[in-house]
Amino acid sequence: MIYPEAMQPESSERSLASPVGRVVVTLTGSGGKRLTALARCAGWQANLWPGLTFVPVQERVAELANLGHYRWLLLTSPQGVRSLIGGLADLGQGPEALLGLRVAAVGEGTAQHLAAWGRAADFVPAQADARTLAAQLPAQSGELILHVTGQDSRDQLRQGLKNRGLEYQRLALYRSCAVTYSAEARSDLLAADYVVVASGVAARGLAEQLGLGLPLLAMGEQTAQAARAVGFGWVEQAQSPSVEGLLRSLNSLAPRPPV
């Protein structure tokens, strides 16, 4: 089963203000919807075309039965939370399965998804990125930590925790796949002054389908690095890895000049 994500653009309703420019948001879930709405309020012509779908790695779900072995559970994306919830539901369990565990969420968006399920995060770092989470996690040397994530996640968190003497285990419950864009989406993307991306997988999907000429606004450092590694030449990085940081950066950018 593929986790459902919106595959059509949001309503074509626009701000009454003169358009600042055109932006396409490829973030999935509530973050994409929120950024699209905020961009429209700021005067941008904004469409939402989520760039990813998520496929469960079903054979790993049984490993959630061993949560009692760990001291900390780390969640680094809303999709990680959704995968955890779905995997535990397959085992007939809910939030009670996390009793005795301390849970860290990488940012407020991830924490909100967790809280909506019925389990508040015990720790959220000051900045929503893997480096800060690894540095600030209030864990003691030797404690065993489980990171629920996707197959394509990078090793920055693992290395940061290992450098502190913490025992890291990674449980990949899903894999991210780039969507195949429709003709309407491709037209929107090619006409955009900026395309907002939040993962290397989404950036690679754009490159494969639309080439390397798109101007990108990346949500964080890792995404910006991945986009440049693919070959994109025009990559801006958000002021902070959040919807608010993306919006501030977007509003500081001018539309690209006509070709």
pLDDT digits (tens, 9 = 90+) for 4-56: 443 444 433 433 344 689 999 999 988 899 999 999 999 999 999 999 999 99
Quick: pLDDT tens for 100-128. 999 999 988 899 999 999 999 999 999 88
According to CATH, where is 3.40.50.10090 located in the chain? 22-51+180-252, 55-176
The answer to whether residue 176 scores a pLDDT higher than 80 is yes
State mean pLDDT over 194-201: 95
DSSP 8-state assignment for residue 27: -
Predicted model pTM: 0.78
Average pLDDT over residues 62-88: 95
The Cα–Cα gap between 51 and 90 comes to 27
Quick check: helix, strand or coil at residue 66?
A: helix
CATH 3.40.50.10090 fits 22-51+180-252, yes or no: yes
- Say what the alpha-carbon torsion angle 68, 141, 78, 208 is, to the nearest 10 degrees: -120
- Fold that domain 55-176 belongs to in CATH: Rossmann fold (3.40.50)
